[in-house]
Chains A and B, each alone.
Chain A
Amino acid sequence: MSAHSSIESADRTLAIRDLYRTRPRSRLVRASVVLFAFFALYAFLSPDVAWSDLFSARRRSNLSRFVDHDLIPYPLRDSGFSWSALTEWAGNLMRSHGLEAMAATFWISVLAIVIAGLASLLFAPLGAHTLANREPYGSSAKRSGHDAWRALVGTTRVAAVLLRAIPEYVWAFLLLAMLGPTAWPVIIALAIHNTGILTRLGSETIENLEVAPLESLAAVGASRRQLATLVALPLALPRFLLYFFYRFETCIREATVLGMLGVVSLGYWIADARGRQNYDEMVFLVALGAVLILLTDLVSYTVRRWIR
């Protein structure tokens, strides 16, 4: 009896081991985990992030002054808490520049993402190997070969990489120096960066399209332009819109922050309040930015579900 059960348990151990050996795993994931662990360990050991500094007496007194005094809306500092004083303070801030800055942030990101969307509609087909070749969706023998089309695809992709790898902030800096402080530098900086991203995502979407409808239309003599505008783009549109809204959400976030460089979005007033050391107002404006982001995320989520 005991011999029998020990055989059974040995069997079970073997079966578990078998399961363990055949479990889904990936070398790449493991390598990534190891790589990240290396970075993290190095970061913890390096003296760059002086962690204990955060708990020094000076930092603590800074923090307690910030929480106990600076953060409290100034009408409430001496007189104690009252709803009417608080709402009057918030209302004044909203009227003097809060609402206007929220609207400016919103419109800046709308215009930026619309420009980026249009530009990437133009560039995405040029970066797709399947469309930009000698005979799109035709006989495979004629598709390959070094020709001008390959150069076109390559150029488009390299350009897209450069556009998106340079941070928006660098574009904004350059454009502010060139154009002066209107809303344009921020709009164009966001548009350039997002054109790079949307072009890459768009090209990938077109390349991953189901080939059957495209090939059959190519077989009955559809031209490249017809294939691109009448078949590929409509088929890719749902994905395009998905990416468009995803980038719109990030645009709102970046437009808020880019204002700190001197353009009238929320960031401008946040930097302004920071300069005057009115931290109560600064945190209020940061919270306004959060509200704007939550609202636009909600709208974009609803629209995405509606068109799915």
Chain B
Amino acid sequence: MDPRELKRPLPVSRRGVVLFSIAALGIIAAFALELSPQDLAPHAGGVEIAREFFSAALSPAIDYEAEFVPDGAPPFLIRTLGAIRRTLVFAAFAMSLAIVAGLALGFLASSGSGSATIQLIARLIIAAARSVHELLWAVVFLAAFGISPASAVIAIAIPFTGVLAKIFSELLDEAPDDAAYALRAAGTSRLRAFLFGRLPSAIPDMAAYSFYRFECAVRSSAVLGFFGFETIGYYIKASFENLHYHEVWTYLYALIAVVLAFEYWSAALRKRFAV
């Protein structure tokens, strides 16, 4: 038996304490938010909305639902594909920026950087980048630049840089470092020892993790559409507000298909690596 178990200071296990606190916090939350169960009952029109929305799931639109379609509008399915394409373009663009910046910051935040001060500064930058949601970055950039696809790309790239840099620095610290030591001992510069001694053995894990983040970037890019950028979320929101639920489902199915394809790919990748 684990000796720690014998002199356990609490009559219940730590897990028990945590489970109990979670349940208690849940109840406190309901009171703190002054929630009432009556508000859970949908109002008269609400049930009708839900019924229409979910019955539309069985018959997604293959053409515009509106009676009046402006001249020159592409066929509906082509427009859906275009929205998906733009969603992927935003995500890929943001990810390629985030990978480059994440590599640099990740190196500076890892023990390879060689200076505790640099490491600390890099970690602070990472924490700041990570702790603001991409949509809030987008709102800030909208105010700073006005609406522009490039601001959506930077908005995604910043928090993703933070997350990638954090994981990269951990992977780099865990990577076997004998080659880097040997290179340093032979007089190689710190940067080269990093590039040729440490980086190569961490690359497969880093690639697997980056691909997983690409999947997340696709979701984020889709969601940015709800706030005015022309990704698929934009069309979902517009069709929803026009009560064109069949169109909403076509967009949703397209989005779900793309997300699931990425998810299965990256799940297969992660199975091979412990990320």
A contact set with B: CB distance below 8 Å: 24-26, 28-29, 32-33, 36, 39-40, 42-44, 46, 48-51, 53-54, 58-59, 62-63, 66-67, 70, 103-104, 107-108, 110-111, 114-115, 117, 161-162, 165-167, 169-170, 173-174, 177-180, 182-184, 187, 237-238, 241, 244, 253-254, 256-257, 260, 270-271, 274, 279, 282-283, 286, 289-291, 293-294, 297, 303, 306-307
A293 touching B131, Cβ below 8 Å: yes
Query: How far apart sit A115 and B96, CA to CA, in the bound complex (Å)?
Result: 37
Other-chain residue from A32, A40, A180, A290 in contact with B95 (beta carbon distance below 8 A): A40
**Stretch among B105-113, B114-122, B133-141, B191-199 lining the A interface:** B133-141
B187 on the A face (CB < 8 A): no
The tally of residues in B whose CB lies under 8 Å from a CB in A reads 77
The yes or no answer to B33 lying at the interface (CB within 8 A) is: yes
Give A132 to B224 CA distance when docked, in angstroms: 39
Closest to B43 in A: A180
Q: Main SS of the interface on chain A?
A: helix
**Could you say which residues of chain B place their CB within 8 Å of the CB of A117?**
22
Residue of B nearest to A37 (CB): B96
**Which chain A residues border B219 with CB–CB below 8 Å?**
167
B210 partner residues in chain A, CB cutoff 8 A: 36
Q: Known contacts A178-B49, A270-B139: does B26 contact A49 (CB below 8 Å)?
A: no
The answer, among A66, A165, A179, for a CB contact under 8 Å with B144, is A66
Chain A contacts for B8, CB-based, 8 A: none
**Contact string against A for B residues 200-215, beta-carbon threshold 8 Å, 1 for contact and 0 otherwise:** 0000100110110010
* Complex contacts, B91 vs chain A, CB 8 Å: 39
Interface contact A63-B144, CB-CB below 8 Å: yes
Chain B interface (Cβ within 8 Å of chain A)? 14-15, 18, 22-23, 25-26, 28-30, 32-33, 35, 39-40, 42-43, 46-47, 49-50, 53, 86, 88-93, 95-96, 127-128, 131-133, 135-136, 139-140, 142-146, 148-151, 153, 204, 207-208, 210-211, 214, 219, 222-223, 226-227, 233, 236-237, 240, 248, 252, 255-256, 259-260, 265-266, 268-269, 272-273
Q: How far apart are the CA atoms of A110 and B32 in the complex, in Å?
A: 11
> What's the Cα separation between A306 and B17 when bound, in Å?
11
B156 to chain A, nearest CB (A): 11
Bound complex: CA A257 to CA B131 (Å): 12
- Give the chain A neighbours of B214 by CB distance below 8 A: 36, 39
Docked complex Cα distance between A283 and B252 (Å)? 32
User: In the complex, are the beta carbons of B89 and A104 less than 8 A apart?
Assistant: no
